[in-house]
Structure formats: structure tokens, C-alpha cells
């Protein structure tokens, strides 16, 4: 199950990251206006999603990728909140936009389970 979720997460993050470059106008629209340099934020978050998705597939990078993706999911939460507060700008159902907010916690738990939980090794030291 963990392997499946890791693979699904990897594909999802890489595709979402690629969309930052293929459809930047959509991502630019969700950056709250009080954040500086929206273009740079969209590029950085797209690169981070792609790198994190790839990192999930590489055992030596998996834990770091997981923590990076969790940090990213927390960092983009203000954009999700902004969308919920201004649904008229996004032409999406108000209920859907508000339902996305707790889903961010589900995504964080998913990444933690797939990349971090149980991935550390206990090293025994001779005394």
C-alpha cells in the first residue's frame, strides 16, 4: 500500500508541478495579492513539486523529499484559503473550495505515510 501511495503521490506532484509551467496563469491567479513576486512563487512551487515527486521515487532522497513536500503543502495553504474566501474569482463551487482546506491535512498525512513514517533505520551501537 505504501509503495502504491508513494507512486501515486510522485506522479501527482510531478504533473501538478509541470502544470505550473504549462498553465501558469491559473497558478498566478491563486497567489494572494499580498504575496510578493507571484511569478517567482509559481516557478519555485512548480520546481519544488517536480523535485519532491521525483525524490519520492529515490530511496536516498525519499525522507527529505517527503519533508520538503510537507513544507510545500503548508506553504501553499494561504493560496487555498484565498481561493475559498474569493470563490467568485475562480468559478468553482464554494463548498469544493472550503472542502479543499482540510484535504491539505490529508495530503500531508499521505506524504508522511508514503515517504517518512517507518523510513528511518534504527542503528544499534555497541556499548
Whole-angstrom distance, CA of residue 12 vs CA of residue 41: 19
Confidence of residue 127 (pLDDT cuts 50, 70, 90): very low
Instruction: Give the domain ranges of the chain.
Output: 2-116
Of the given ranges (57-66, 82-91, 115-124), which has the lowest mean pLDDT? 115-124
User: Is 118's pLDDT higher than 90?
Assistant: no
- List the Cα angle 41/32/83 in 5-degree steps: 115
Exposed e or buried b per residue across 53-78, where buried means at least 16 C-beta atoms within 10 angstroms of its C-beta = bebbeeeebbbebbbbbbebbeebee
Predicted pLDDT at 42: 98
pLDDT per residue as tens digits for the range 21-38: 999 999 999 999 999 999
- Cα Rg of the chain (Å, integer): 16
The mean predicted confidence, pLDDT, of the chain is: 92
Predicted pLDDT at 120: 55
Amino acid at each position: 500500500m505504501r509503495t502504491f501511495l508513494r507512486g501515486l503521490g510522485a506522479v501527482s506532484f510531478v504533473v501538478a508541478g509541470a502544470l505550473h509551467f504549462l498553465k501558469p496563469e491559473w497558478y498566478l491567479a491563486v497567489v494572494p495579492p499580498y504575496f510578493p513576486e507571484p511569478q517567482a512563487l509559481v516557478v519555485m512551487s512548480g520546481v519544488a513539486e517536480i523535485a519532491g515527486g521525483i525524490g519520492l521515487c529515490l530511496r536516498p532522497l525519499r525522507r527529505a523529499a517527503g519533508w520538503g513536500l510537507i513544507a510545500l503543502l503548508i506553504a501553499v495553504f494561504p493560496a487555498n484559503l484565498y481561493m475559498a474566501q474569493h470563490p467568485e474569482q475562480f468559478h468553482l463551487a464554494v463548498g469544493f473550495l472550503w472542502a479543499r482546506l482540510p484535504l491539505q491535512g490529508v495530503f500531508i498525512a499521505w506524504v508522511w505515510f508514503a515517504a517518512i513514517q517507518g523510513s528511518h533505520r534504527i542503528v544499534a551501537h555497541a556499548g
